[in-house]
Amino acid sequence: MARPSNATEAWSALAAGNNNFVSGTPAHPRQDAELRRDLASEQKPFAALFGCSDSRLAAEMIFDVGLGDLFVVRNAGQIIAETIVGSLEFSVEVLNVPLILVLGHDSCGAVKATLDSTKTPLATEGSFIPQLVRRILPTVETALAEGVTDLDQITSRHVNDTISELMERSDLIRSRVESGRLGVVGAQYRLEEGLVEPIAALGLSI
């Protein structure tokens, strides 16, 4: 199979790999010792993935890809921060990935904690955990004001808002999308089925 060279090809490769994972017939490509040695001097991923740190979202597994295929950036609740934007800009400018995938998932604990905090004050020992909630809170408050209370619907909104914030904060990523050199896909992962469902796209058709 030819290496994806644009956003459409990259998304098609990820979608095909996810189909393998869902059907229980993964190919487990690009995991051999020879490739590992070849990649030691240089990496050429065909996509960057920004997702939640949830242990059930093993990026290479759910897309049935291997070493050197994905540039993965993760934190709890896939929340935009300066280090996240910088990492994604690195993947675009230095590694020349043609696609960024922003991946949320159902039953997200970070989004649920934020939703719960609108009813009961958040109680944590960790002094930085509330910062995660504060970053998701605007999405939750907007959803509630519009009568949306379903956790997974709010999570989908959070994926869309994450993409909007990424485009707003990074001139590089926005200009690459506008020039047709980069695509951005937002998707939701279904934990039980293993299925990745696209919910938004910039710079390509899905």
CATH number for the domain that contains residue 122: 3.40.1050.10
Bridge partners for 189 per DSSP: 105, 196
Bridge partners for 204 per DSSP: none
Phi and psi dihedrals of 186, rounded to 5? Answer: -110, 135
Note down the domain range covering 115. 7-202
Residue 52 within any structural domain of the chain: yes
When divided into structural domains, the chain yields a total of: 1
Strands 195-202 and 183-190 turn out to be: antiparallel
pLDDT of residue 38: 78
Q: Is the overall model pTM greater than 0.85, yes or no?
A: yes
pLDDT of residue 1: 56
Residue 1 within any structural domain of the chain: no
Residue 25 within any structural domain of the chain: yes
The answer to whether 35 and 73 are in contact (CB under 8 A) is no
| Consecutive 10-residue averages of pLDDT for the chain (206 residues) | 89 97 88 77 92 94 94 97 98 98 96 94 88 95 97 97 98 98 98 97 94
CA–CA gap between residue 126 and residue 72 (Å, rounded): 25
pLDDT of residue 3: 87
SS3 of residue 195 by DSSP? strand
CA–CA gap between residue 136 and residue 78 (Å, rounded): 10
pLDDT of residue 102: 98
Contact residues for 170 (Cβ-Cβ < 8 A; gap 6+): 85, 88, 89
Residue 2 within any structural domain of the chain: no
Residue 100 token pair: 């960024």
Bridge partners for 197 per DSSP: 188
pLDDT of residue 89: 98
Residue 112 within any structural domain of the chain: yes
CA–CA gap between residue 65 and residue 144 (Å, rounded): 38
